[in-house]
């Protein structure tokens, strides 16, 4: 601990503190805590025994880190963030084991947020000030409110709203910032009898289709998708209402609003896809190039990132 700094007014019992870490005045660190390199623990913090803090973490003033907290590299924890590790606490009654709460790499938690026990805050997620996190937060998600809900995704640049094609001859794909992902303007014919839109497989829909499914009656706070496919192509059309689609190729992330039945988005294999912000009447129609096969799904974003890295 000789290369770290401990303020004379701090009470630090742990000897497992990495190089260049700093603990400021009126902070208490119990003997079992493990703290990495280049960590900054500001004043009036309390860190219990069964705590692991990674490298490059910033913990601002007035934060208590209780048993069961696992904080990975590069995390930011704002002032007066409140963690808990027991959902049903009683005075002088302790559970056999405390719930483990995981804060993944480079996540940020805003001032005054509350994080309930046993949740996982995903890599690079952003928790808004004052949010109450009652459930696990996916990687890159931005959440706010009580209870916290997803309102966006970090670095997910909004795609331009696609205008209806003036004529059938002007339908087709519009490339996006995400590799291989395209928005499609489908043919639309309107007259006094109503409107019609049509797609042809392997033409306007750029692959042969073996399966379709529809998603509907989704509560607006829920997020679906959150996976990639190894081989399967998907083509998404919101035939009623609206929903937002986030596409992520591991380097670029972009959000698209599907709010017309003549607009579709093509998600090729090895693209991480998310659907959220469903309107109450939304019906999402998805065409797939493969029959359902569980092994084709990649459901862990860390694994997705590793596989993308291996392909590059």
- Taking CA atoms, 32 is separated from 8, 53, 215, 238, 302, in Å, by 20, 12, 48, 53, 29
Contacts of 189 (CB under 8 A, 6+ apart): 168, 195, 196, 197, 198
In angstroms, rounded to a whole number, what is the distance separating the alpha carbons of residues 271 and 178?
9
* Among 86, 133, 126, 87, CA closest to 109: 126
Element (H, E) at 123: none
In angstroms, rounded to a whole number, what is the distance separating the alpha carbons of residues 259 and 195?
15
In angstroms, rounded to a whole number, what is the distance separating the alpha carbons of residues 14 and 1?
9
Q: Is 229 tagged catalytic?
A: no
The backbone torsions φ and ψ at residue 75, rounded to the nearest 5 degrees and listed phi first, read -75, 145
CA dihedral 194, 200, 205, 206 (to 10 degrees): -160
In angstroms, rounded to a whole number, what is the distance separating the alpha carbons of residues 141 and 150?
6
Catalytic residue among 44, 227, 229, 266: 227
Contacts of 228 (CB under 8 A, 6+ apart): 269, 270, 271, 272, 273, 297, 298, 304
Catalytic positions, written as ranges = 227
């Amino acid at each position: 601990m000789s290369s770290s700094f401990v303020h004379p007014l701090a009470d630090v019992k742990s000897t497992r503190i990495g190089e260049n870490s700093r603990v400021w005045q009126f902070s208490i660190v119990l003997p079992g805590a493990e703290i990495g390199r280049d960590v900054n623990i500001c004043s009036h913090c309390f860190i219990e025994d069964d705590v692991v803090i990674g490298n490059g973490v910033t913990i601002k003033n007035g934060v208590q880190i209780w048993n069961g907290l696992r904080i990975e590299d590069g995390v930011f924890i704002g002032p007066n963030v409140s963690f808990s590790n027991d959902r049903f606490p009683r005075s002088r009654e302790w559970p056999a084991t405390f719930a483990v709460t995981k804060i993944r790499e480079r996540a940020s938690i805003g001032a005054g947020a509350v994080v309930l026990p046993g949740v996982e805050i995903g890599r690079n997620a952003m928790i808004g000030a004052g949010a109450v996190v009652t459930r696990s937060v996916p990687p890159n998600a931005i959440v706010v409110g009580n209870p916290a809900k997803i309102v966006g995704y970090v670095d997910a640049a909004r795609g331009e709203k696609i205008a209806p094609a003036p004529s059938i001859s002007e339908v087709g794909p519009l490339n996006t910032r995400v590799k291989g992902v395209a928005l499609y303007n489908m043919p639309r014919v309107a007259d006094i009898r109503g409107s019609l839109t049509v797609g042809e497989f392997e033409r306007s829909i750029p692959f042969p289709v073996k399966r379709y499914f529809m998603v509907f009656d989704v509560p607006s706070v829920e997020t679906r998708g959150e996976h990639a496919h190894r081989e399967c192509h998907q083509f998404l059309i919101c035939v009623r209402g609206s929903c937002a689609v986030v596409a992520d190729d591991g380097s670029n992330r972009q959000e698209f609003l599907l709010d017309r039945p003549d607009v579709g988005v093509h998600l090729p294999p090895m693209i991480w896809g998310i659907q959220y912000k469903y309107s109450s009447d939304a019906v999402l129609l998805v065409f797939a190039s493969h029959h359902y096969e569980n092994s084709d799904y990649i459901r862990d974003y860390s694994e997705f990132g590793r596989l993308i890295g291996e392909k590059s």
